[in-house]
């Protein structure tokens, strides 16, 4: 294997040499062994279990996350167990039937690894959202290079330490750093780039990947609407909405971004939302041990600017020194308000009302397609209408957030909210090429396809379905 650069080598040289060493290792074919992949997934699982306290502590340092929510990062183990039980079956060739005219012969689809992949992680779930795609890359037989978010430095360090202690760098490695490091990585030729983050940076990643004709998976975000119909259990709906919105201080890509509430039930829902906030965080949310903080001053300033001049129903308190923003409900928000022009990604929930569901659907469809759409309603006809009339990465009916933890469901966006999907088998497929194979024997060879073509056109028309 190629020796790695010395510690004082330039970043560009280190990355280039690291990539060469991974390409050399991939070329040996060792990563294609099912047993090799299984052992690496087992090692990854053991490493996460061993360092779970470090991971939770790091997320607390970066995001002020309560211990309970910190363990959401360790929830990646559930997906890892799911993948370990199934990936060998996913890797098997899949037979495809042949038309009569192609017989005798056999055809199949054979998954193969892509090669060396780049995983660029976000800051909001800084451990889980690099480990989840990593397990898919390993299960599919690839080498991987990980760039954690520098905005969550404590977790970035834990990721780097865990990976370096678990895998040789010519197989899986971590490159830490800021924007310049990311730019250097994006100049390299990878076989796939998996990016999780905001739409603006996603555009930069995609533009850079285009220069190398590198395929991308972009897990982005958007303004995920939550529509609340009249036919609901108000108290249960309110608790679920408040939990899904304010977990991790609203810094979740699938958090409900705004509420569209039927006007007949709005007053009752507002009372229930306020009660849920009181039950969850008490009279002084700033003192609650169960409320995370905003990740950076930059994000804090952006959020406080977004809710300026809005009608605050509950909350609105802020403290820049501790990056605290109270769980906030905004009433009577207009579609033209600044807070409705971009993903909020914070503990602020605008609330609007509707009378006619078709008008509400039109408003949703007038905006970029969201990563998630939520509908609270017992009305099955309305559920069907919402599913058929809107487009989003995913939908959850009568709950929020939890759709992302069903490993049999692909998770990803559409249009502005993302390209591609992952989780479970979808992750395996994202990091695989499905190679088509046709095998023919020599012992049977009809002359219908060969020149001269005289007197053969009628048979060809039958073959292609013209008669």
Q: Cite the active site residues.
A: 219, 253
Longest Cα–Cα distance in the chain:
90
Q: What is the DSSP string of 208-233?
A: HHHHTT--EEEE-----EEEE-SSS-
Nearest-10 Cα torsion for 255, 192, 21, 141: 80
Please tell me the number of Cα atoms within 13 Å of 309 on its side-chain side. 7
d(CA 72, CA 415): 28
Beta pairing partners, 194: 119, 217
Half-sphere exposure (Cβ direction) of 321: Cα atoms closer than 13 Å: 1
CA atoms within 13 A on the CB side of 429: 13
- Here the tokens at position 155 are 């977790």
- Tell me, rounded to whole angstroms, the distance of Cα 413 from its chain centroid: 8
Measure the CA–CA gap between 63 and 72, rounded to whole angstroms. 13
CA distance 417 to 390: 14
Residues 194, 214: Cα–Cα separation, whole Å: 10
- Spatial CA neighbour of 11 closest among 193, 157, 185, 250: 185
Residues in the chain, how many? 467
> Cis peptide leading into 312, omega within 30 of 0?
no
What whole-number distance in Å separates Cα of residue 301 and Cα of residue 102? 65
Measured CA to CA, the distance from residue 208 to residue 15 in angstroms comes to 16
- What are the structure tokens assigned to 238, written together? 């309110």
Helices then strands, counting H and E runs in the chain, come out as 16, 18
- The set of residues, in sequence order, having a beta carbon less than 8 Å from that of 388 and lying 6+ positions away, is none
> Which residues make Cβ contacts (< 8 Å) with residue 353, sequence separation at least 6?
260, 261, 262, 263, 266
Cβ neighbours for 240, distance < 8 A, ≥ 6 positions apart: 376, 398, 399, 400
């Amino acid at each position: 294997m190629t020796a790695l650069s010395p510690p004082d080598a330039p970043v560009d040289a280190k990355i280039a040499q690291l990539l060469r060493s991974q390409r050399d290792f991939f070329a040996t074919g060792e990563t294609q062994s099912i047993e090799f992949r299984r052992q690496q997934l087992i090692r990854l699982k053991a490493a996460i279990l061993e360092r779970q306290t470090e991971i939770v502590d790091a997320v607390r340092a970066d995001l002020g996350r309560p211990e309970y929510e910190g363990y959401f990062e360790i929830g990646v183990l559930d997906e890892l167990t799911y993948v370990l039980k199934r990936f060998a079956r996913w890797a098997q060739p899949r037979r495809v039937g042949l038309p009569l005219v192609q017989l005798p012969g056999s055809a199949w689809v054979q998954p193969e690894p892509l090669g060396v992949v780049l995983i660029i992680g976000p800051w909001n779930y800084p451990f889980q959202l690099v480990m989840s795609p990593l397990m898919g890359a390993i299960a599919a037989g690839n080498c991987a290079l990980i760039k954690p978010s520098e905005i969550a430095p404590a977790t970035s360090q834990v990721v780097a330490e865990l990976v370096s202690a678990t895998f040789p760098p010519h197989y899986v490695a971590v490159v830490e750093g800021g924007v310049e490091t990311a730019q250097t990585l994006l100049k390299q030729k990878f076989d796939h780039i998996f990016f999780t983050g905001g739409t603006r940076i996603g555009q930069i990643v995609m533009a850079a990947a285009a220069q190398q004709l590198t395929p991308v998976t972009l897990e982005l975000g958007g303004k995920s609407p939550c529509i609340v119909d009249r036919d609901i259990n108000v108290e249960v709906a309110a608790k679920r909405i408040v939990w899904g919105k304010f977990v991790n201080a609203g810094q979740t890509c699938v958090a409900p971004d705004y509420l569209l509430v039927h006007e007949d039930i709005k007053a009752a829902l507002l009372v229930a939302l306020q009660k849920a906030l009181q039950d969850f965080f008490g009279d002084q949310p700033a003192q609650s041990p169960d409320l995370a903080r905003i990740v950076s001053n930059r994000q804090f300033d952006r959020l406080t600017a977004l809710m300026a001049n809005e009608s605050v129903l509950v909350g609105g308190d802020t403290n820049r020194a501790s990056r605290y923003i109270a769980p906030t409900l905004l009433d009577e928000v207009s579609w033209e308000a600044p807070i409705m022009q971009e993903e909020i990604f914070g503990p602020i929930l605008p609330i609007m009302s509707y009378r006619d569901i078709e008008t509400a659907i039109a408003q949703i469809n007038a905006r970029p397609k969201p990563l998630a759409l939520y509908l609270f309603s017992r009305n099955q006809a309305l559920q069907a209408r919402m599913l058929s009339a809107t487009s989003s990465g995913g939908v959850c009916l009568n709950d929020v957030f939890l759709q992302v933890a069903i490993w049999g469901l692909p998770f990803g966006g559409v249009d502005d909210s993302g390209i591609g999907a992952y989780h479970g088998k979808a992750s395996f497929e994202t990091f695989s090429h499905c190679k088509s194979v046709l095998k023919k024997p020599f012992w049977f060879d009809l002359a219908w396809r060969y020149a001269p073509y005289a007197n053969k056109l009628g048979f060809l028309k039958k073959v292609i379905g013209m008669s």
